[in-house]
Structure 1
Amino acid sequence: MITFRRSLIAAVFLLACFYLLRSSHSVAHIKSPSTTLSNSAPGRVNVQVGSTNKKHQTTQQQQQVHLSAEELSKKSLRERLRYQFPYGLQSKFPAYIWQTWKYTPASGSFGENLRPFEASWTEWHPGFIHEVVSDENVIYLLKYLYAAFPEVLEAYESLPLPVLRADFFRYLILLARGGIYTDIDTYVLKPSTEWLPEQVDRSKVGLIIGIEADPDRPDWAEWYSRRIQFCQWTIQSKPGHPILRDVVATITEDTLRMKHAGILSKRKMDKSIVEFTGPAVWTDAIFRYFNNPAYFDVAKGPNRRNITAMDFTGMTVQRKVGDVVVLPITSFSPGVQQMGAGEPDDPMAFVKHEFEGTWKSANDRAIGHQE
């Protein structure tokens, strides 16, 4: 008979395995990304060939300096996250697939309608570690990974809605371990090994994201939070990516601010779900990164040229911006029949999101919606 104690021991063992696997692949170096946008011939990936930020490159390539517990405690949350989860650009994408749901597939309560979706990720990614973490066990995994960050754990446990916790989890797990996070109601059309063209050097890519919305219409702000909105139901990343570090710190700070102000409840928050943990905060973090002079020379100097939504509207092939590859709307949103998205049989269609059985209703995705 499986007792609670045996289950707990098994869970600890699995987490230890994750740690050992992660440790064997971790790299504490980073090369600065190239920095300019460029156009290429139709059907080919947009590849950047611009100048790099040499100062940042030199600093990041140095061996990580060991800090004492006292020294580390004086650092900001972002600095401590950077120290705890160093970004190794030249490392491989970890072979993890992360999902979260109310139950694991081993449970009889796991929805039969979701089994083909979940199974598609295992079938198309042989050799990957595929984990569906139940709602009940997420906190134990996070306590293991973020033991040094009590404010992050406090923020997660304080979130008043399942959708908020599910959003936060994807950023947290990718920051700490990397790999692919994907919602439980997504279906693989092409494996992740085919998301980038063969000519793209994966040792120079640390994050792969897709466009969720590209509303080229005058009233776009009535329907979407941003002119270009990046989706967060499927993300592939190497651990420690600066965008993930930024979004984790931002959500932590906003959560604790609202909690201390007494406005963090199901029906009393000063941000909508989309702005708080959803695609709006995710999109903002991505654009902050693209326009951060610490990473990109294009964001420096008197001739500064901001990277904006207009650089991604109407995309039909992949576009590389530094160490980030942006996929067109067809890749993760095929079949939506708007905004230029192709059908699921399009060569650029990689993941189908069915919007079934998710934490978010249609109202939750609309701007201005507030629980």
Structure 2
Amino acid sequence: MTMLLSYCSLRFSRLSIAGTIAFWCIVLLVYIHPIRLFTLEDTKSSGVLSGPRIPERIWYKIGPKGHDLQSREWMDDCLRKNPTHRAEILTDQLGERFVNESFASRPDIIETYFSLPLPIHKADFLRYLILYAEGGIWSDLDVSCEDVPISNWLPAEFQERANVVVGLEFDVGWGDHIFRQFATWTIMAAPKSPHMLRVIDDIVDAMREVTQSGQLPTNMIDTVVDFTGPRRFTRGILESLGSAVNGTISPDSFTHLLEPKMIEDVVIMPGYSFSASVNKYDPSDVVGPPLVKHHYAGSWKNANGGEA
């Protein structure tokens, strides 16, 4: 009996030592290994960790020629000024793969993307698809960041509520009858925004209509702004906001804007934020700092509607 107790004690002791070692190995793995045993979604739901709704990712799309020195300099400068943001750079091939994989459940979206006649149409559509699926910030290659960090672009009271952030392209100094469209060279969005989805569905419907009618314009380059560009984008956002409030959102509600304005969960930035060079303010106007500068390279404005 004594021998049996000694054997059991020894076996238990060995098991205890082994268990202790295993326990501390797990602890070390969890707290030292860079891949933790929980996800960001877990921490958000538990309240342990919170952050902006709009991911800290800046999306760029390059054409067959890639970056030129100037666009690369603008991108690098923006990332230096915003070290917590990371760049996501898509080529034509990566863009096609993204669409196929991210929208496998929506064959109509995939068909629309590959049916669009010009590279600039695809580039417009791709930015909306990316911002809907992944969220973040879209930036055209001819956009540079000014000195205000992206984390300070929005008033604090808007940051946790903002679903989409857009900036007026034409507003002050353009008269009362100008179409006040939103710039599409810089757009911010949280993932799965219904407003971005409305823009996407509008383009899908428009492409289906022109395809079925057989009335695709012979010179599609003249239709870019309306078909996939800023006017289409602006109309889609306003229609979606109208649906959200069971009414109509009129551009009159954000004319001559001098500070950011939130309508439902969409923040509209004044003209000086994303388009300072084309909005002319009176000296008496108190305006904030420009956030980005659009250099109007217009590389798509050629017969092929693609990178020059």
Q: So what's the TM-score if we normalise by structure 1?
A: 0.62
One of 214, 239, 249 as aligned partner of 1:288: 239
Identity of aligned residues (%): 29
The residue correspondences of 1:1-371 to structure 2 (distance < 5 A) are 24-25=40-41, 92-103=53-64, 109-189=66-146, 190-198=148-156, 200-214=157-171, 220=177, 226=179, 228-264=180-216, 267=219, 272-292=223-243, 295-296=244-245, 299=247, 306-336=248-278, 338-340=279-281, 347-356=288-297, 358-360=299-301
Does structure 1 retain, via aligned residues, the 8 Å contact 2:128–2:199? yes
Q: RMSD between aligned alpha carbons?
A: 3.0
| Distance across 1 between alignment mates of 2:202 and 2:96 | 19
Shift, 1:212, TM fit: 0.5
Change (3 A) 1:26 1:276: farther
* Structure 2 counterpart SS, 1:121: helix
Match in the other structure for 2:24: none
| Distance across 1 between alignment mates of 2:126 and 2:202 | 14
| Distance across 2 between alignment mates of 1:348 and 1:147 | 42
Does structure 1 retain, via aligned residues, the 8 Å contact 2:259–2:288? no
Shift, 1:329, TM fit: 0.1
Q: Which amino acid aligns with 1:196?
A: L
In the alignment of these two chains, the number of paired residues is: 256
| Distance across 2 between alignment mates of 1:115 and 1:327 | 26
Shift, 1:173, TM fit: 0.3
Change (3 A) 1:26 1:356: farther
Q: Which amino acid aligns with 1:240?
A: K
* Structure 1 counterpart SS, 2:155: coil
Greater helix share, structure number: 2
Does structure 2 retain, via aligned residues, the 8 Å contact 1:160–1:265? no
Q: Which amino acid aligns with 1:296?
A: V
Query: Computing the radius of gyration over CA atoms, which structure comes out larger, 1 or 2?
Result: 2
* Structure 2 counterpart SS, 1:291: helix
| Distance across 2 between alignment mates of 1:172 and 1:266 | 26
Shift, 1:218, TM fit: 6.0
Q: Which amino acid aligns with 1:92?
A: R
**CA distances 1:135-174 after superposition (whole Å, capped 9, x unpaired):** 2321011111111111111101111111111110110000
Shift, 1:191, TM fit: 2.3
| Distance across 1 between alignment mates of 2:282 and 2:227 | 27
Change (3 A) 1:26 1:286: farther
Shift, 1:131, TM fit: 1.2
**CA distances 1:22-53 after superposition (whole Å, capped 9, x unpaired):** x84499x9xxxxxxxxxxxxxxxxxxxxxxxx
Change (3 A) 1:120 1:218: closer
* Structure 1 counterpart SS, 2:90: strand
Does structure 2 retain, via aligned residues, the 8 Å contact 1:101–1:134? yes
Change (3 A) 1:231 1:341: farther
* Runs of 5+ consecutive residues of structure 2 not aligned to the other structure: 1-38, 46-50
Q: Which amino acid aligns with 1:282?
A: F
* Structure 2 counterpart SS, 1:140: helix
* Structure 2 counterpart SS, 1:229: coil
| Distance across 1 between alignment mates of 2:217 and 2:250 | 34
* Structure 2 counterpart SS, 1:130: strand
